[in-house]
């Protein structure tokens, strides 16, 4: 079936008991030894690092991105599997997908139970990821978990400890894995890939601020004061906050800060319906709505735009392109009373 390179980065799939809790400390070959390798697949292991994924930094993620490109420079490689902690897997996978231009797949997987668990899910997930990496093409970066194949874009961790940990709350999965085969159900929507970024001396700071009842822009403004070049505002409902946030967004944009607008609701697109501090006003002030991308992946999109461009307005254009909305697209949104309003929606986010 082919030659697959497994890049090991740590996470629960590489974790063992440390006396007070579990932490990643196993090498890639140890992780690989837990799984059955499908017939016909030759595996090569790259030990990149072994950390719990909440500790990952932009430097870690860009190092992995560069390693993926280096591995795929070898035409004898048929695909890549990345073993990764589940906490931030959705962020790293999306970053790699935004820069992935090769028909060969990069498949992320991991585990919810540590590698020494008798009923651990890591070996099965790793087996399924190998099958997927060896057989599919032109689907971009994928997440394989619990017998399901997900697109990187839009897929998030939806369960803290359950085996079926990942899903796209606003969309359908790409396929299923079973009996040593992959059944592809749909081709994921993807933006045009970005060129590989140069590793910066200091990574751009991108912060996430959540709105709530009684919320004010104090933390939003603190992020700007701390040097954030980008901020993701996690609003309520369809993307709503307060007039004070509108003013803060406008001031941030005047300073060249890139602002993205998402929602704390689990599913559905950010939609311009409400004023008085709602998405209508926030977008008018310069915030870029992120469609169905939630906070972690919205932050990655902002980070990728900042790494791709230095000019302020060009960064906004890049962000919109990554979100599938280079010019925006008018859509009718039905309100409860039947009245329709025009809304600016992404065509493929």
Average pLDDT value for residue range 154-174: 98
CA distance 165 to 159: 5
> What is the per-residue pLDDT for 326?
60
Determine the pLDDT at residue 335.
Answer: 39
Instruction: Judge whether 86 is annotated as a binding position.
Output: yes
Query: What local confidence, expressed as pLDDT, does residue 310 receive?
Result: 81
CA angle 114–115–116, rounded 5-degree value:
95
The pLDDT of residue 282: 98
Least confident segment among 70-79, 262-271, 330-339: 330-339
Res 179: pLDDT:
93
Residue-level pLDDT at 342: 37
191 is in an annotated binding site: no
Cα Rg, the chain, nearest whole Å: 20
Of 160-169, 254-263, 285-294, 317-326, least confident by mean pLDDT is: 317-326
Is pLDDT of 105 > 90?
Answer: yes
Domains contained in the chain, CATH given: 2-184 (3.40.50.1170), 206-345 (3.40.50.40)
53 is in an annotated binding site: yes
Flag whether pLDDT at 347 surpasses 50: no
Q: Count other Cβ atoms within 10 Å, centred on residue 271.
A: 22
pLDDT at res. 340 = 39
> Residue 276's pLDDT is what?
97
In tens, the pLDDT along 218-240 reads: 999 999 999 999 999 999 999 99
Share of the chain above pLDDT 90, in %: 90
Whether the predicted pLDDT of 104 surpasses 70:
yes
pLDDT in tens, 335-345: 344 343 333 33
CB within 8 Å of 268: residues ≥ 6 apart = 170, 238, 292
Taking residues 145-174, report their average pLDDT.
98
pLDDT one-digit tens code per residue, 38-67 = 999 999 999 999 999 999 999 999 999 999
Confidence band of 327 (pLDDT split at 50, 70, 90): low
Give mean pLDDT, residues 78-83: 98
325 has pLDDT over 90? no
pLDDT of residue 332: 32
Residues classed as catalytic:
12, 86
**Residue 209: both structure tokens together:** 């601020």
Phi and psi at 96, nearest 5°, equal -65, -40
Give the mean pLDDT of 294-310. Answer: 96
Number of alpha carbons in the 13 Å side-chain half-sphere of residue 170 = 19
Please check the confidence at residue 202 and state whether its pLDDT lies above 70.
yes
Q: Report residue 8's pLDDT band, with 50, 70 and 90 as the boundaries.
A: very high
What does the pLDDT read at residue 135? Answer: 96
pLDDT digits (tens, 9 = 90+) for 263-275: 999 999 999 999 9
Q: What pLDDT is attached to residue 95? A: 98
Scanning the structure block, which residue is given the tokens 């929507």?
Answer: 189
Q: What is the pLDDT of residues 108-129, one digit of tens each?
A: 999 999 999 999 999 999 999 9
Question: How many C-beta atoms lie closer than 10 Å to residue 334's C-beta?
Answer: 10
């Amino acid at each position: 079936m082919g030659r697959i390179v497994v890049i090991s980065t740590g996470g629960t799939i590489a974790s063992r008991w440390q006396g007070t809790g579990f932490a990643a400390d196993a090498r890639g070959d140890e992780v690989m030894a837990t799984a059955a390798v499908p017939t016909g697949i030759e595996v090569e292991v790259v030990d990149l690092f072994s950390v719990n994924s909440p500790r990952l930094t932009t430097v870690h993620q860009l190092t992995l991105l560069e390693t993926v490109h280096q591995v795929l420079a070898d035409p004898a490689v048929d695909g890549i599997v990345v073993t990764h902690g589940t906490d931030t897997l959705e962020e790293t996978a999306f970053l790699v997908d935004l820069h992935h231009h090769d028909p060969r797949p990069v498949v992320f997987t991991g585990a919810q139970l540590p590698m020494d668990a008798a009923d651990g899910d890591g070996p099965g997930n790793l087996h399924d990821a190998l099958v997927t990496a060896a057989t599919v093409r032109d689907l971009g970066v994928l997440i394989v978990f619990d017998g399901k194949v997900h697109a990187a874009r839009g897929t998030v961790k939806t369960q803290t400890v359950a085996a079926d940990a990942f899903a796209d709350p606003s969309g359908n999965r790409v396929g299923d894995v079973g009996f040593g085969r992959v059944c592809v159900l749909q081709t994921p929507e993807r933006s045009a890939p970005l060129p590989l970024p140069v590793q910066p001396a200091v990574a751009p700071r991108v912060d996430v601020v959540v709105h709530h009842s009684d919320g004010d822009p104090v933390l939003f403004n603190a992020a700007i004061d701390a040097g954030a070049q980008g901020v993701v505002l996690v609003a309520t409902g369809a993307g709503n906050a307060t007039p004070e946030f509108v003013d803060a967004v406008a001031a941030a944009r005047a300073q060249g800060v890139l602002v993205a607008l998402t929602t704390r609701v689990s599913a559905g697109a950010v939609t311009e319906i409400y004023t008085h501090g709602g998405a209508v006003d926030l977008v008018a002030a310069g915030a870029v709505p992120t469609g169905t991308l939630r906070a972690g992946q919205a932050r990655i999109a902002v980070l990728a735009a900042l790494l791709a461009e230095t000019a302020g307005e060009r960064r906004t254009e890049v962000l919109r392109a990554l979100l599938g909305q280079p010019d925006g697209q008018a859509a009718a949104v039905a309100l409860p009373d039947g009245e329709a309003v025009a809304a600016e929606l992404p065509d493929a986010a």
